[in-house]
Amino acid sequence: MRAKLLVLTVAAVLALPLASAAQALPDEVRAAGVTVAAWNGVQLEVRRASAEKHVSEKALASVCAKMGVALVKNGALDLRQLISLIDGRADEINALYKRLTLLAQEDDPITAGLLQSARSAIDAGEPDQADGLLEQARQSARTSRENAQRREAEVIATEAQVKSLRFDYLGAAATYADAADALPPDARRDRWRYAISQAQALETRSRLFDEPQPLEQALHILRDVALPLVPRNGAEADWAETQIDLGNELEVLGERGDAQALADAIVTFRLAQEVLTRDRDPAGWARAQGDVGNALLSLGDRGDDQALRDAVAAYRLALEVRTRDRDPVGWATTQNNLGVALETQGYRGNDQALRDAIAAYRLALEVRTRDRDPAYWAATQNNLGVALEVLGGRGDDQALRDAITAYHLALEVFARDSDPADWAATQDNLGAALTTLGNQGHDQALRDAVAAYRMALEVFTRDRYPAHCAEAQDGLGSALAGLGERGDDRALRDAIAADRLALEVRTRDRDPMHWAETQSNLGNALEVLGDRGDNQALRDAVAAYRLALEVWTPASFAADAKMAANKLARAEALLAKRAP
């Protein structure tokens, strides 16, 4: 299945001169291949966000430079990811301003006043009155001491916020734990608040740097620390919010391969909906309903057809509340996610689901326009292209041409310098659509497909993006095999080499479905070479088809199994005919 892009909201870059607060291109970012021109685009985003959010441009530019250095992975930096984080950093700076202002205003004049009154009563010969005033002073002092503990905790939490701004999420998490420890014993809600912040810091670290351990720690904190502090029968709103957070963390774990975590996430979101009911809190209910759909979609992507049907139903229910008039951005996002679920159904043979996916994507594009949100628009164009491409592969020539148009539109926004991963993914998808068109007799489309795949592979290297590299190599093999079938023996041998490179990453243990697909494609190229007299290539084709059929069983992959079995029979018959 072709790649669908993660949709992120990235504001448009304004054509304004850079301010003096702009940060120079850090050496680590330059070494990751970012040009000065591309970095200037980031600085323009800093300027826009600082003006819109009313924060210091110098402060935000400094934070952005630190982000750029921290986000360099395997010698590369995804500028789109960096830009998508700028508004959030500005919000964090604003929250830090507010916290510091509140801390500076706190004082305890009450106890001092009571003590002064008690002294005056003693001086006036009223010991009984003084005794009563001192009792009040003692209570006030206790309250003051507890307030001082809360204030100390807030100071510590402010320190944690600064650590987050510096991308020290592990340090922030530990500091939030220190803040909780500084609180008085009965400050349960504040302790819960710090536990939530601690878990969020750990989850952010795990997500940005693809580290499993912080996510496990975040799950432990939510389950064993935060939830016991807010029992459902006493703090149901906080309890439901914690369930939503827990479900989101479980969903991330599930997306990394843990199917049970996905099932647990669905249960957790539905528990939250018992409090966030459709009647009482329609917006909260719809948000949780969308989360249920996302988790079900992840299960559906792994072959669970019922989960996929349930995901479609969940998104449609959410859209009954999250309407275009009431919440246009949320409505468009849910339409996009509905499109992804329907597209997956369509990929498995449901043509009507494909048409419904196309309609959902086009509805989303009516709200998230190119002018208003270019990155989202481009990602949705890419997803639209995938659905149209699948429909085009089933004989709808216009859908295929529309898919190619959609990919080209996405590439008008996704640039190699600023969006290398999305640019490469869209080139990969364009290559697939062009290959399908080429297999209908358009030789130039096949040559264009080869060029698109090779451009994608300039970014999707094996070291940096092994799975994407394997997918692009597999696609390149198919396009080259198409040229090879038209008499280009060099292209045919290059196709075989590309498929074998893909199989070095797409192993049977790691990715059996795609491994079988590439084995079948390898068999196709080898069989064509075998048809031209190369018996060893024919024997290798037989071996490849047999390997594919070990995964493509008739029970699980009926159409693929039938196709591979027919090709295997043909290759075996040709070998038998040539036997002496």
Contact yes or no for 495/535 (Cβ under 8 A): no
Q: Is residue 198 part of a domain?
A: no
Backbone angles phi, psi at 256, to 5 degrees: -90, 10
Residue 462 carries which side chain, given as an amino acid letter? R
> In the numeric block, which tokens belong to residue 165?
């701004």
Q: Please list, in sequence order, all residues whose beta carbon lies within 8 angstroms of the beta carbon of residue 108, skipping any fewer than 6 positions away.
A: 140, 144, 147, 148
**Residue entry with tokens 């819960």:** 192
Rounded Cα distance between 144 and 106, Å, is: 11
Rounded Cα distance between 554 and 18, Å, is: 62
> In the numeric block, which tokens belong to residue 84?
């998508």
Q: Please list, in sequence order, all residues whose beta carbon lies within 8 angstroms of the beta carbon of residue 23, skipping any fewer than 6 positions away.
A: 43, 46, 61, 62, 64, 65
Q: In terms of Cα–Cα distance, which of 275, 252, 260 is closest to 206?
A: 252
Rounded Cα distance between 485 and 375, Å, is: 39
Domain with 432, as residue range(s), is: 414-580
Q: Residue 249's pLDDT is what?
A: 95
Residue 524 carries which side chain, given as an amino acid letter? N
Rounded Cα distance between 199 and 248, Å, is: 11
Rounded Cα distance between 259 and 246, Å, is: 16
Q: Is residue 491 part of a domain?
A: yes
Helical packing angle, 420-438 and 374-392, nearest 10°: 20
Q: Is residue 145 part of a domain?
A: no
Q: Residue 17's pLDDT is what?
A: 39
Residue 23 carries which side chain, given as an amino acid letter? Q
Q: Is residue 368 part of a domain?
A: no
Contact yes or no for 502/539 (Cβ under 8 A): no
Q: The whole model's pTM is what?
A: 0.75
Q: Please list, in sequence order, all residues whose beta carbon lies within 8 angstroms of the beta carbon of residue 259, skipping any fewer than 6 positions away.
A: 299, 302
* Dihedral sign of CA atoms 34, 40, 45, 47 in order: positive
Rounded Cα distance between 429 and 406, Å, is: 10
> In the numeric block, which tokens belong to residue 88?
């959030």
Residue 480 buriedness (CB in 10 A; 0-12 / 13-18 / 19+):
buried
Residue 215 buriedness (CB in 10 A; 0-12 / 13-18 / 19+):
buried
Q: Please list, in sequence order, all residues whose beta carbon lies within 8 angstroms of the beta carbon of residue 236, skipping any fewer than 6 positions away.
A: 275
Q: Residue 210's pLDDT is what?
A: 83
CA angle 509, 298, 516 (to 5 degrees): 30
How would you write 332-393 as a 3-class SS string? Answer: HHHHHHHHHHHHHHHHCCCHHHHHHHHHHHHHHHHHCCCCCCHHHHHHHHHHHHHHHHHHHC
Contact yes or no for 176/162 (Cβ under 8 A): no
Q: In terms of Cα–Cα distance, which of 518, 492, 493 is closest to 505?
A: 518
The secondary structure element, H or E, covering residue 29 is helix 27-31
Q: Residue 108's pLDDT is what?
A: 64
Q: Is residue 374 part of a domain?
A: no
Q: Is residue 191 part of a domain?
A: no
Q: Residue 34's pLDDT is what?
A: 80
| CATH (domain of 537) | 1.25.40.10
Backbone angles phi, psi at 73, to 5 degrees: -130, 130
Contact yes or no for 34/79 (Cβ under 8 A): yes
Contact yes or no for 468/424 (Cβ under 8 A): yes
Count of residues making up the chain: 580
Q: Residue 275's pLDDT is what?
A: 95
Q: Residue 78's pLDDT is what?
A: 78
Domains contained in the chain, number:
1
Mean pLDDT by 10 residues, the chain (580 residues): 41 34 73 81 87 84 84 77 86 76 62 76 75 81 82 90 90 96 93 96 91 95 96 94 96 89 95 95 94 93 90 96 94 95 90 95 95 91 95 92 96 89 94 94 94 96 90 95 92 95 91 90 92 91 94 86 93 86
> In the numeric block, which tokens belong to residue 81?
């990811």
Rounded Cα distance between 329 and 345, Å, is: 25
Rounded Cα distance between 367 and 365, Å, is: 5
Q: Is residue 38 part of a domain?
A: no
Q: Residue 15's pLDDT is what?
A: 31
CA angle 310, 562, 507 (to 5 degrees): 70
Rounded Cα distance between 466 and 464, Å, is: 6
Q: Residue 312's pLDDT is what?
A: 97
**C-alpha torsion angle, residues 232, 233, 234, 239 (rounded to 10):** 10
Q: Residue 75's pLDDT is what?
A: 73
Residue 534 has a CB neighbour count (10 Å cut-off) of 17
Q: Is residue 487 part of a domain?
A: yes
**C-alpha torsion angle, residues 331, 332, 333, 335 (rounded to 10):** 90
- How many Cα atoms occupy the beta-carbon half-sphere of 214 within 13 Å? 21
